[in-house]
Structure 1
Amino acid sequence: GTFAFTPVAPGAAQVYDYMIMIGFCVNAAVLPLHAWLPDAYPEATVTGAVFMSAFTTKTAVYVLARGFAGFEILAVMGVLMTIYGAAYATIENNARRILSYHIISQVGYMVAGIGIGTAMTVNGACAHAYAHILYKGLLFMGAGCVLYATGTAKLTELGGLAYRLPWVMFCYMIAAVSISGFPLFNGFISKTMTITGAAEAHHLWLTLGMEVAAVGTFLSVGIKLPYFAFFHKPDYTKEIKPIPANMYVAMGIAAFLCFIIGVFPNLLYQLLPFPVEYVPYTSWHVLQTLLLLSFTGLGFYLMRHVIVPHAKINLDFDYVYRLGGKLGLGLAKWPLAKLDNWWTEFYNRVGLSGMLLVARISRMFDEKAIDGVVDGSAYTVLGAGGRLAKVQTGKLADYIGLALVIAIGLFAVFYLL
């Protein structure tokens, strides 16, 4: 045996291989095993959320890339993740919850690239993991600064912060255009590499799904969140806490790296597992991306009154778990309750009645048989004792006479024998 972790061929995978893969899919927040992520990240501390967003799911992506590249089910689930996360982020109100849903969406690109399994898509998945660490960490820094300064991350309670936290707004927008895939930023390099790899592998529907998710990403993280947090309600007058200098420095470093990798992608290519033969800055890639994002911005402008955030709780896949709970309660209330009542009635009529009959027979046996033998023996001993007591008169002549009678009796017995 060995503990060596080697790649698993899709056609030779055993049950235990799939069990290992499912375990890491939970870590990667693959649908429908994702509900832990949007529930956990928004509740973390400002610093904790940054570290969690950067590293938690990436360990699973690393293992999937090492061991399960080429599993088509991962490609399908990855694209579903990209669309699902972007859709829920669009209707969410809490800024950190929006970013949490977009972790699901962005990890979906990585999982899809791994599932397609070509050299370019696996490179794209790994590149997107590196890029995601930077821009998602920066996004959570920005949301954390807003939470630190105002005490809330709900868009319905924010607005006008661009004028009071300009550096936070600037750095956040660097991260927002990075995750949206704007040219000159790291997200453009990694996202287009993955999507182009899917197209070259002739996965039309997967490619289309990732393009649709890219629209949702820019709509929710690149436009909706900054608009309602930084530009909406310019008369926002609530008192805010000053941001410490170290938070500004950290955001500046992350923003610089997002830009520098987008301008010099070879810095990223050196870290990828396969040789890279991909040129991101072609006229087609740049024009296609700008057109897609421009129409997304136009769509937001036309629908800005429709996608206004609301102070409500959106039911996620937790609703399915609730249905399971309701089903369990329904079973407990009707079929199981009926079965319990029937069993109780059967027990009372048959079980208890039988036990009472056995108890009556046992009592009669105890009283007539056991007690009869014991009491009879006692009465016999008492009777014999009474008769022997009459013999003990205390007179010597009586004892001599009794001895003679016994001696004569014994002599007669021996004589007869």
Structure 2
Amino acid sequence: MTETFGPLSPALILILSGLLLPLLRGPLRNALFLFAPVAALVLVWALPLEPGLAIDWLGLHLVPLASDNMSRIFGTAFGIAAIAGALYGVSQPSVTEKAAALVYAGAAQGIAFAGDLVTLFVFWEILAIGSTLVIWSNGNTRAGLRYALIHVLGGVLFFAGISAEISASGSVAMHAMRADTIGRWLMLSGILVNAGALPLSAWVADAYPKASWSGAVFLSAFTTKAAVLVLIRLFPGEPALLWIGLAMAIYGLIYALLENDIRKLLSYSIVGQVGFMVVAVGIGSPLALAAAALHALAHILYKSLLMMAAGSILRSTGETRLTELGGLFRVMPFTAVAMLVGGFSLAAMPLTAGFISKSAIFAALAEDQARFYWFALMAISTGSVLYIALKLPWFALFGQRRSDVAVEPTGSMKAAMGGLCALIVALGCFPAWLESLAPEIVGVPILTVDHILFQWLMLIAASCIFIGLFALLRPSVGSTLDVDWLWRELPRQVIPFSNGIRDRFRKPADRGLSQAKQGIALFSQAFQSRLRMAGNWRTGEVAAWATALLAIYVLIAAL
């Protein structure tokens, strides 16, 4: 084995810190929890843009650490999310959650800097383990088990596809490909499971709201965006991703409009916004891929902020249902402002990070002359204004107050939300830093008068629709029926039905089984008796048995 060691991987810093965290106590534990993400982000920018570590092992050329512009974009996004999540959740008493969150963030960094398929899969599985533990740490064993089963399915598909690809090519290198073989389709399917693609999208809204007020922040940042990065690496320009991404965007919009629970609404929104990224990856041009990466970065920022605001409401009121909330702007103004900033960024309002990244996506669609997808995503983007910039603020932050605030957000929680608010607005007002990360978007018309006016007209149009359909958009008590009904509720209905059928036929079946057992016992006794007295067998019976055995032997030989 030959080795060439380069700089230290950001993934190792976070994973080792997560494993060490339970051994520490008090301030030292919190210090490590806060310091590890900062050190990892520093390493992201300290790494040279070239492979830093290569290993020849068992005939495989492994590259566990490879840095380029794309890995730097996602590494930066994951690093900021980990820092903000740690600052927000430093007062979280669960040591398990904190340790799992660091391992989870480290696995995302490992995926960002993986240079071969084997390394990618190793971190892919660590990602699944870390995220499952984040959910389990809040005591939701069943939700964590469902989440784990979905990701075991995705991991099996991904591993089968990687194995087939390595067997066919003899190489573990990561390169752009088309889904033109069974192995590559399996690989693509495994990635799409983690991305939250249909028909298994329901796992996002099922699992993320079951995490704690702080755990959901980490969950919203890593899994689906890591899948987007792998799609950029392996399947840029794959035509199937256009329809898959569009379906995800439509699905996320519809269910977010219907949802009553804030954290489930935001989880459905994750699927919809990842759908925008998947469509951009399906376009596959340099501008489209850069736009997908920047939208992943912006999405991590504003969705983390929205999950923080929702977590603050949950921690303060013990409630996240819109039908039980209202008037929070007067009693939780800081949290309310954070929710508004995050919502406006998701809705791509001017002077926010989401405005920059979505503008780049639409510019890429226009450049590729993908008119259908441009109009479809523009309509969906307008629809997202309804649930995130109008419905959610109106029913949660304004109107009649229906809940009491028991606990105010801590200083660290406010610091995390305030930092993300400032960053989102700064990137929206001064996009030069994003342009330095992704030079492909230089020249895209973003902060122009006509473009800004167009976005404000979208907001006005959405406001008119909200007023006209106010009665339909009003949240209602209950839960939305999703595809996960097939594996969550259907078995509960089938089991009683099958028990009734079983009870109806149990007595006749038991009686027939008893008679069959008696007959077998009598035959066995008679057969054993005749074996002991083989000399008394009749010649004709012996000849018949011999003929039958000979016929069976001849038949087997002929086959």
TM-score of the superposition, structure 1-length normalised?
0.79
Q: CA distance change for structure 1 residues 330 and 15 in 2, over 3 Å: closer, same or farther?
A: farther
Aligned residue among 95, 100, 108 for 2:275: 108
Does the CA-based 8 Å contact 1:76-1:206 persist in structure 2? Answer: no
Which residue pairs with 2:420 in the alignment? 254
Does the CA-based 8 Å contact 1:83-1:216 persist in structure 2? Answer: no
TM-fit CA distance, 1:147? 0.8
Which residue pairs with 2:477 in the alignment? 311
TM-fit CA distance, 1:331? 11
Which residue pairs with 1:271 in the alignment? 437
Partners of 1:275 and 1:160 in 2: how far apart? 41
Q: CA distance change for structure 1 residues 301 and 202 in 2, over 3 Å: closer, same or farther?
A: same
Does the CA-based 8 Å contact 1:25-1:33 persist in structure 2? Answer: no
Does the CA-based 8 Å contact 2:287-2:364 persist in structure 1? Answer: yes
Within 5 A, what are the aligned runs for 1:3-402? 3-9=172-178, 13-234=180-401, 236=402, 238-272=404-438, 274=440, 276-321=442-487, 325=491, 353=519, 356-357=522-523, 359-363=525-529, 366=532
TM-fit CA distance, 1:65? 0.6
Partners of 1:3 and 1:340 in 2: how far apart? 56
Q: CA distance change for structure 1 residues 240 and 302 in 2, over 3 Å: closer, same or farther?
A: farther
Q: Secondary structure at the match of 1:306?
A: helix
Partners of 2:505 and 2:396 in 1: how far apart? 56
Q: CA distance change for structure 1 residues 354 and 116 in 2, over 3 Å: closer, same or farther?
A: same
Q: CA deviation digits over 1:38-84, x for unaligned, max 9?
A: 11111111221111111221111111011101111111111111111
Bigger RCO of structures 1 and 2 (CA < 8 A, at least 6 apart): 1
Q: CA distance change for structure 1 residues 327 and 303 in 2, over 3 Å: closer, same or farther?
A: closer
TM-fit CA distance, 1:349? 7.6
Q: Which amino acid aligns with 1:216?
A: G
Partners of 1:3 and 1:341 in 2: how far apart? 60
Q: CA distance change for structure 1 residues 9 and 342 in 2, over 3 Å: closer, same or farther?
A: farther
Greater shift, 323-332 or 148-157, is seen at 323-332
Partners of 1:206 and 1:258 in 2: how far apart? 27
Q: Which amino acid aligns with 1:7?
A: A
Partners of 1:230 and 1:112 in 2: how far apart? 33
| Number of residue pairs aligned between Structure 1 and Structure 2 | 367
Partners of 1:145 and 1:243 in 2: how far apart? 6
Partners of 1:338 and 1:23 in 2: how far apart? 43
Greater shift, 104-113 or 238-247, is seen at 238-247
Partners of 1:356 and 1:149 in 2: how far apart? 74
Greater shift, 13-22 or 331-340, is seen at 331-340
Q: CA deviation digits over 1:105-150, x for unaligned, max 9?
A: 1111111100111222212111100101111111111111111111
Q: CA distance change for structure 1 residues 204 and 231 in 2, over 3 Å: closer, same or farther?
A: same
Q: CA distance change for structure 1 residues 337 and 109 in 2, over 3 Å: closer, same or farther?
A: farther
Partners of 2:518 and 2:370 in 1: how far apart? 70
Q: CA distance change for structure 1 residues 273 and 247 in 2, over 3 Å: closer, same or farther?
A: same
Residue ranges of structure 1 left out of the alignment (5+ in a row):
371-417
Does the CA-based 8 Å contact 2:331-2:405 persist in structure 1? Answer: no
Does the CA-based 8 Å contact 1:78-1:108 persist in structure 2? Answer: yes
Partners of 1:335 and 1:151 in 2: how far apart? 43
Greater shift, 27-36 or 95-104, is seen at 27-36
Partners of 1:62 and 1:98 in 2: how far apart? 24
Does the CA-based 8 Å contact 2:360-2:441 persist in structure 1? Answer: no
TM-fit CA distance, 1:340? 11
Partners of 1:64 and 1:340 in 2: how far apart? 53
What is the RMSD of the two structures over their aligned residues, measured on CA atoms?
Answer: 3.1
Which residue pairs with 1:415 in the alignment? none
Does the CA-based 8 Å contact 1:182-1:188 persist in structure 2? Answer: yes
Partners of 2:405 and 2:338 in 1: how far apart? 22
Q: CA deviation digits over 1:316-372, x for unaligned, max 9?
A: 1113446875897699689999999999999778886466345325436647969xx
Q: Which amino acid aligns with 2:435?
A: Y
Greater shift, 311-320 or 140-149, is seen at 311-320
Greater shift, 99-108 or 189-198, is seen at 189-198
Q: CA distance change for structure 1 residues 350 and 169 in 2, over 3 Å: closer, same or farther?
A: closer
Q: Which amino acid aligns with 1:299?
A: I
Q: CA distance change for structure 1 residues 73 and 335 in 2, over 3 Å: closer, same or farther?
A: farther
Q: Which amino acid aligns with 1:319?
A: W
Partners of 2:524 and 2:406 in 1: how far apart? 81
Q: Once the two structures are aligned, what percentage of the paired residues are identical?
A: 34
Partners of 1:243 and 1:329 in 2: how far apart? 45
Partners of 1:337 and 1:242 in 2: how far apart? 56
Does the CA-based 8 Å contact 2:249-2:276 persist in structure 1? Answer: yes
Q: CA distance change for structure 1 residues 258 and 368 in 2, over 3 Å: closer, same or farther?
A: closer
Q: Which amino acid aligns with 1:189?
A: I
TM-fit CA distance, 1:239? 4.1
Does the CA-based 8 Å contact 1:123-1:276 persist in structure 2? Answer: no
Residue ranges of structure 2 left out of the alignment (5+ in a row):
1-169, 537-559
